[in-house]
Amino acid sequence: MILLENKSDLETDLSFLEKIARFLGANKDIELIITGNKEIAKLNKEYRKSDKPTDVLSFPLEDIPFMPLGSIVVSDQKVKEAAKELGHSEKEELALLFIHGLLHLMGFDHETDSGEMRAKEQETIDYFNLPKSLIIRGE
């Protein structure tokens, strides 16, 4: 189940995001926070030492029984900008960021692995017929 805290006017299709979570095998609750660039920049500076807004952050929780898998924080402004720039819907962009963030919660790390996260992300994108992922766009 996705616990949504939407601090923006960005429309969300929770049922679609929950289908993605089930497809990826997420077996715990996930907190999804949608906020603005100001708040995500503050979190990015505090936790990643990067003093700028970013599109998505993931905060996994320890494997404690009855606790959520973790939190995914998404910038609504980055969703809107990328969707417009890349010519797809905001729903699709949010789904791409959700996939990316969820894979990080599940222990994947594209910065240190041998392509496993990229492959899992691509498999999910293909299954749900979504546009190019964050990792692929960055290549």
| pLDDT band (50, 70, 90) for residue 132 | confident
What pTM was computed for the model?
A: 0.90
Tens-place pLDDT, residues 88-101? 999 999 999 999 99
Domain boundaries defined on the chain: 2-137
Mean pLDDT of 100-112: 91
* CATH code assigned to 2-137: 3.40.390.30
Report the C-alpha gap between 34 and 36 in whole angstroms: 7
Tens-place pLDDT, residues 14-68? 999 999 999 999 989 999 999 999 999 999 999 999 999 999 999 998 767 778 8
Give the helix, strand, coil percentages of the chain, each rounded to 5. 45, 15, 35
Count of H helices and E strands in the chain?
Answer: 6, 4
Residue type, 124: T
- Length of the chain, in residues: 139
Residues pairing with 59 in the sheet:
71
3: tokens are 């616990």
Q: Which of 70-79, 115-124, 127-136 has the lowest mean pLDDT?
A: 127-136
Name which of 104, 19, 89, 91 is nearest 59 in CA terms.
Answer: 104
Report the C-alpha gap between 84 and 75 in whole angstroms: 14
